[in-house]
């Protein structure tokens, strides 16, 4: 059977979900990002028997096209969509009515949902991968994550998950590194057993220590948020550092990529809005796009619109 998996490329949850689908279905991975998802859907061969999409939410600017693509592919291919990002009731009905099997739960991470979906086809060790995603997505407080964590050693999971997260966020890791990780995890290798993971993780930990100092020195506070321009791949980590450095409920880090800024937002319980929905709406009004979770989100806007994005966010959060 020709099986394919499109999953998020940038974090442990997406890469872990891909690994689980690879292990369960023998799927060929296509690691993608929010702004390349539509394009990558076009890479699925017309004679594919099965497609599983994981950890890739959409926003108002792409949701219609995404649902249309799903409907088109579902006419010839069995499609399963596993995600935990916000999904409107209308879009949910459209996806289900098109014959797509939708596995959606905002309270669980994508790798946990993938594990639960394909549990009968996976070995016992696959549970660890689901927990790596839960820990690094800050969703290990969910009922399923709590239950599974009680069945293993918590310190082991935390250590391995941290190694994976730090290694994937190291900007010295090459573009093929996430796929290497997915392949190794699908064979049930532990993170510390995968070549280069430990070295990249240790280097990234040292870099994070220095980055915390940089965030304090070069970050700026604007109302209830702090922001900083960075060259780091792990913009989400920078956003978290800004929260601590300036004692604010929201951190915003941005990295320039051509004519666009890629922006990460992280929040604490003191944040007054759903960051994913808010970032998506504001970015769309400025000619960009975005989305995500209540306290972890991302967006992209034209370079010249970045000041306006910060000003609007500072008014809302």
Backbone angles phi, psi at 208, to 5 degrees: -65, -35
Clarify whether residues 151 and 289 are in a common domain.
no
263-278 as b/e, with b when 16 or more CB fall inside 10 Å? bbbbbeeebeebbbbb
Q: Specify the pLDDT at position 158.
A: 98
88 found inside a domain: yes
Distances (CA, A) of 181 to 177, 178, 186, 232, 266: 6, 5, 8, 20, 25
DSSP 52: E
> Nearest Cα to 112, choosing from 95, 91, 127, 90?
127
Query: Does some domain include residue 210?
Result: no
Does residue 109 sit in the same domain as residue 20? yes
Among the three residues 170, 199, 228, which one is the final residue of a domain in this structure? 199
Determine how many CB atoms are found less than 10 A away from the CB of residue 175.
8
On whether residue 27 sits in a domain, the answer given is yes
The verdict on 154 and 193 lying in the same domain is yes
CATH of the domain at 279: 3.10.310.40
Q: For residue 89, is it within any domain?
A: yes
Same domain? 77 vs 32:
yes
- CA 186 from chain center: how many Å? 18
Residue at 49 is within a domain: yes
Same domain, 153 and 268: no
Residue 294 confidence (pLDDT): 86
**What pLDDT is stored for residue 59 in this prediction?**
76
Residue 308 and residue 249 in one domain: yes
DSSP, res 191 = G
Q: How many whole angstroms separate alpha carbon 17 and alpha carbon 90? A: 26
Helix (H) / strand (E) containing 256: strand 250-257
Output the tens digit of pLDDT for each of the chain's 317 residues. Answer: 799 999 999 899 999 999 999 999 999 999 998 878 999 999 999 999 999 999 998 877 788 889 999 999 999 999 999 999 988 888 899 999 999 999 999 999 999 999 999 999 999 999 999 999 999 998 999 999 999 999 999 999 999 999 999 999 998 898 899 999 999 999 999 999 999 999 999 999 999 999 999 999 999 999 999 999 998 877 888 999 999 999 999 999 999 999 999 999 999 999 999 998 899 899 989 999 888 888 988 899 999 999 999 999 999 99
What does DSSP assign to residue 55? S
Number of domains within the chain? 2
Query: Is 108 domain-assigned?
Result: yes
Task: Take residue 53 and report the two structure tokens written for it.
Answer: 């999409």
Q: Is residue 208 part of a domain?
A: no
CA distance linking residue 95 with residue 245, whole number of Å: 42
Residue 213 belongs to a domain:
no
Q: 70 near 79, Cβ under 8 Å?
A: yes
The verdict on 259 and 138 lying in the same domain is no
94: domain range? Answer: 3-199
pLDDT given for residue 1 in this prediction: 77
* 19 and 92 belong to one structural domain: yes
Residues 242, 174 within the same domain: no
Q: By C-alpha distance, which of 291, 215, 306, 191 is closest to 256?
A: 306
What are the residues facing 291 on neighbouring strands? Answer: 298
Report d(CA 58, CA 18) in Å as an integer: 18
**Boundary (domain end) residue, out of 199, 234, 263:** 199
Cβ proximity of 263 and 301 under 8 Å: yes
CATH number at residue 172: 3.90.1640.30
Q: Residue 15: which residues within 8 A CB-CB, separation 6 or more?
A: 7, 8, 9, 31, 164, 168, 178, 181, 182, 185
Report the pLDDT value the prediction gives residue 86, as an integer from 0 to 100: 83
147 and 280 belong to one structural domain = no
pTM recorded for the entire structure: 0.89
């Amino acid at each position: 059977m020709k099986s394919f998996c499109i999953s998020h490329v940038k974090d442990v949850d997406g890469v872990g979900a891909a690994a689980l689908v690879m292990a369960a279905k023998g799927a060929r991975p296509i690691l993608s990002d929010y702004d390349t998802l539509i394009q990558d859907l076009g890479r699925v061969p017309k004679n594919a028997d099965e497609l599983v999409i994981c950890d890739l939410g959409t926003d108002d600017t792409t949701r219609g096209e995404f649902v249309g693509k799903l409907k088109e592919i579902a006419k010839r291919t069995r499609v399963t969509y596993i995600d935990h990002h916000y999904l409107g009731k209308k879009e949910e009905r459209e996806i289900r009515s098109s014959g797509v099997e939708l596995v959606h739960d905002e309270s669980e991470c994508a790798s946990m949902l993938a594990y639960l979906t394909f549990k009968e086809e996976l070995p016992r060790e696959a549970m660890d991968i689901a927990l790596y995603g839960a820990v690094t997505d800050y969703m290990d407080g969910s009922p399923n994550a709590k239950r599974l964590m009680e069945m293993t050693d918590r310190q082991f999971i935390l250590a391995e998950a941290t190694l994976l997260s730090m290694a994937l966020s190291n900007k010295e890791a090459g573009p093929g590194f996430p796929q290497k990780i997915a392949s190794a995890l699908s064979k049930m290798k532990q993170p510390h057993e995968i070549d280069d993971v430990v070295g990249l993780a240790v280097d990234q930990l040292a870099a994070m220590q220095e980055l915390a100092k940089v965030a304090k020195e070069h970050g700026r506070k604007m109302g209830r948020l702090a922001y900083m321009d960075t060259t780091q791949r792990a913009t989400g980590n920078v956003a978290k550092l800004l929260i601590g450095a300036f004692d604010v409920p929201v951190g915003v880090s941005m990295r320039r990529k051509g004519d666009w800024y890629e922006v990460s937002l992280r929040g604490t319980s003191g944040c007054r809005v759903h960051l994913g929905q808010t970032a998506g709406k504001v970015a769309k009004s400025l000619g960009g796009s975005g989305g995500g979770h209540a306290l972890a989100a991302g967006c992209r806007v034209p370079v010249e619109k970045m000041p306006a994005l910060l000003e609007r966010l500072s008014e809302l959060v």
